Structure 1
């Protein structure tokens, strides 16, 4: 069955769904294609940001665990809570667009036939959708390295399948020490799981300042998380229903046994089955769709939004991709990816590690004379009041201009405070602007009065 639309959007993620609603409200007929009815709303809502942060919140509020049975009960409650949350969000996302007369939702696999035609195979029908304007928003998926035995899904999980596990593992081995691996280590260790991370690098988070990485390691070690660096995983074996990982370190073969394995070795472009070659769409060297700074592919009428275009893999970047497209289509055409300013990020390990702008290492590499303002969290009244005193706040300043270059924070509410620092960096204000603000008391934010005081600022 052939149908013609003003726009086809492949993928129900943040950028795609927001774009679908906007274009439909402008009177355009939109076809929105999603492969799975479990993915309405996109990766973040269903298998990433929202469910993981729900589990993280539950894990950090666990109380009165006196036995493994207690831990198992609390974990099952957390899984149920997570499922209830994402089900409501998924339904709300679907209903919002399905109720729009200008949006038609197709649940099925989309494959390009040519650069203007997309075939969609639903459960009961095959459609040919035709449009002069197409947006690809299919995101990314877990990268699974070529390791012998890794295909055994009885003992090997990725970040998506793990969140459906209802039995709390007593022992877990995580392969990979990036954002995903560290967050899951924090979640499961808080429930009482004995977690070991096999890290192929010499340390974690190589782009961060050493003291930041060391503080994160210290936080995880307090929960009995063990990190083994410089490892090369050779084989995964199932022995008596347990998972055994054989790895090499310092030219010596070793083994570790656990209940399950989490593979957290990064993400790759979700292009499988799209038939991009049929539309002549080019990929970059990493396998993501190649785009211009206005998010157009090499085909003038086809765009790529979100993770699939190889940019920073954050939901809020997908949303900003939508803003760029709307500006290019209907605005003054000034928004591009190249004029994005400082992008904040956070690892939710309780307390969260949040960053924006330049850290000390990056600032020095760029030739700045660097000042650092730093305060331990246990010196902040609000932190003492709520009993969460781990970590520090660190702000990087250009000595010659007194402007804030960036910040690293490991503390309660850092994922909120970091946006104030982002604003200061974007506006290129001097550090005294934040130092001399009047903040509510008691709050974590008021620590900016103290951390930016003269006695806390040192040259490094």
Structure 2
């Protein structure tokens, strides 16, 4: 049958389109359903365009400190927010077209519309509620639309959306989500950011670089609360040195709107309160899975706290139905979704030795200035689990490359099991640490101990040398500090 497939994937974000490609590679007849834009939120409104914005911020920061590098820039330096946003959108559009090319290359059918599970192994696709942004060039080979489609295996990869707090719902004008924060028509003079996770801190960092007066409010006792406490403490000091105002152990209790500003009542844990007036506010209190209007309830699909419950291979409690990515629960990261999609497809295809994903080896990255990256257990968590540990640290201030770059503020921290030498976790703050963390991820995946890392030759001069030095420090053998 023309509308019958081996695999249908609902959603073309990082998890969805990567799963579709792997499915096609394994010889399965594959289709992917998308209601808005290929690449999903990550490519179009998340991971990629925010990094383009942050790159502009980095260039501006460097230009403003040119004198420190012996350079003289004639004339004033300022941000053209329209040009900055246009560059960011252009990056996304280029990659959107790239996903379209990959669908065409791998002979994957693209079905434009909104999918709903009508019964096991069947979906009904209807016209999307808003116009779909189809790639201009190249268009996938087979583009389909409304109708009924069947598949032996259906994978839900519908992603997530910003969470809203009751009474403080984003309105698109004064209270923004990351959608509006990514495409400002003009820069506000002041900004309040509610939430200090990766999204909140990245936007706080970007807008501060653009010259905006930024205040961050976090309900926990420290910013980036999922990170190692020592690392988040260093990050806070660096962000405050750049001029960010940070209030922790506090919540935004109420927001009053004026014509072109908001007044937020902020209550702290000690019972005190203050009012903060800002031109705009970003609500960055997390995301929630897109599980509505999919027909999950009628099929009896098990959910928990707004996400679909799965096993280690993406299987739900309903035969033939799977879920991957943000809609399947935390950590809600693009690279987790991609790997989850590959694992799910390879299990469906019956490949041997398919291993379930180990969430303890998923790296996390925050692209603020300074960057933060981590993998595995924090020091506090390792102790909580009763592990007898060794901790090693190495400062950016003792690394030649970091000093040469003028980026000597940061730390590399590693945690080992004292008895076995197992690398339990690695945590970093400083320039380009999001590019360094994968070295520790590979080491953990290979079950590397301190001995192998100590005998690994790191090139000089590089930032990566700090990774080895931190390992040496954990065992009393540090060389350059």
- Asked if 2 retains the 8 angstrom alpha-carbon contact of 1:327 and 1:334, the reply is no
Q: Is 1:22 the counterpart of 2:27 in the alignment?
A: no
CA spacing shift, 1:346–1:330, aligned 2, 3 Å: same
Alpha-carbon distance between aligned partners in 1 of 2:105 and 2:230, rounded to the nearest angstrom: 51
CA spacing shift, 1:432–1:25, aligned 2, 3 Å: closer
Q: Which one of 35, 39, 42 corresponds to residue 40 of structure 2? A: 42
Q: CA deviation at 1:355?
A: 0.9
- Asked if 2 retains the 8 angstrom alpha-carbon contact of 1:432 and 1:452, the reply is no
CA spacing shift, 1:301–1:374, aligned 2, 3 Å: same
Alpha-carbon distance between aligned partners in 2 of 1:134 and 1:16, rounded to the nearest angstrom: 11
| TM-score computed with the length of structure 1 as normaliser | 0.90
Q: Which runs of 4+ in 1 moved over 6 A?
A: none
Q: Which one of 368, 372, 375 corresponds to residue 391 of structure 2? A: 372
Q: CA deviation at 1:4?
A: 3.0
Instruction: Specify the SS of the correspondent of 2:401.
Output: helix
Instruction: Specify the SS of the correspondent of 1:5.
Output: strand
Q: How many residues align?
A: 450
| TM-score computed with the length of structure 2 as normaliser | 0.87
Structure 1: segments with no counterpart, 5+ residues: none
Alpha-carbon distance between aligned partners in 2 of 1:311 and 1:374, rounded to the nearest angstrom: 29
Instruction: Specify the SS of the correspondent of 1:439.
Output: coil
Q: CA deviation at 1:398?
A: 2.5
> What does the per-residue CA deviation read over 1:106-162, in whole Å, with 9 as the maximum and x for residues that have no partner?
2222122222322212269641222232111001111011025x3432111111221
- Asked if 1 retains the 8 angstrom alpha-carbon contact of 2:7 and 2:152, the reply is yes
Alpha-carbon distance between aligned partners in 2 of 1:109 and 1:13, rounded to the nearest angstrom: 14
> What does the per-residue CA deviation read over 1:410-442, in whole Å, with 9 as the maximum and x for residues that have no partner?
122222222222222333333242233222221
Partner of 2:53: 55
CA spacing shift, 1:241–1:457, aligned 2, 3 Å: same
CA spacing shift, 1:324–1:100, aligned 2, 3 Å: closer
Q: Which one of 286, 303, 306 corresponds to residue 283 of structure 1? A: 303
Q: CA deviation at 1:395?
A: 1.5
Partner of 2:294: 274
> What does the per-residue CA deviation read over 1:29-67, in whole Å, with 9 as the maximum and x for residues that have no partner?
33311111xx3112221111111111111101115569x
Matches within 5 A, 1:122-201: 122=127, 126-148=146-168, 150-201=169-220
Matches within 5 A, 1:349-360: 349-360=368-379
Alpha-carbon distance between aligned partners in 2 of 1:402 and 1:456, rounded to the nearest angstrom: 10
* Greater Cα shift, 187-196 or 349-358: 349-358
Alpha-carbon distance between aligned partners in 2 of 1:375 and 1:320, rounded to the nearest angstrom: 31
Q: Which one of 304, 314, 320 corresponds to residue 301 of structure 1? A: 320
Q: Which one of 62, 70, 87 corresponds to residue 81 of structure 1? A: 87
- Asked if 1 retains the 8 angstrom alpha-carbon contact of 2:7 and 2:30, the reply is yes
CA spacing shift, 1:422–1:79, aligned 2, 3 Å: same
Alpha-carbon distance between aligned partners in 2 of 1:441 and 1:234, rounded to the nearest angstrom: 51
- Asked if 2 retains the 8 angstrom alpha-carbon contact of 1:374 and 1:456, the reply is no
- Asked if 2 retains the 8 angstrom alpha-carbon contact of 1:439 and 1:446, the reply is yes
Partner of 1:4: 4
CA spacing shift, 1:193–1:439, aligned 2, 3 Å: same
Structure 2: segments with no counterpart, 5+ residues: 65-72, 132-144
* Greater Cα shift, 130-139 or 416-425: 416-425
CA spacing shift, 1:244–1:328, aligned 2, 3 Å: same
Alpha-carbon distance between aligned partners in 1 of 2:254 and 2:162, rounded to the nearest angstrom: 19
Q: Which one of 86, 96, 120 corresponds to residue 125 of structure 2? A: 120
Instruction: Specify the SS of the correspondent of 1:277.
Output: helix
Alpha-carbon distance between aligned partners in 1 of 2:367 and 2:422, rounded to the nearest angstrom: 28
Instruction: Specify the SS of the correspondent of 1:396.
Output: strand
Q: Which one of 262, 272, 275 corresponds to residue 255 of structure 1? A: 275
Alpha-carbon distance between aligned partners in 2 of 1:116 and 1:449, rounded to the nearest angstrom: 51
Instruction: Specify the SS of the correspondent of 1:6.
Output: strand
- Asked if 2 retains the 8 angstrom alpha-carbon contact of 1:450 and 1:456, the reply is no
Partner of 1:106: 111
* Greater Cα shift, 133-142 or 346-355: 346-355
CA spacing shift, 1:339–1:208, aligned 2, 3 Å: closer
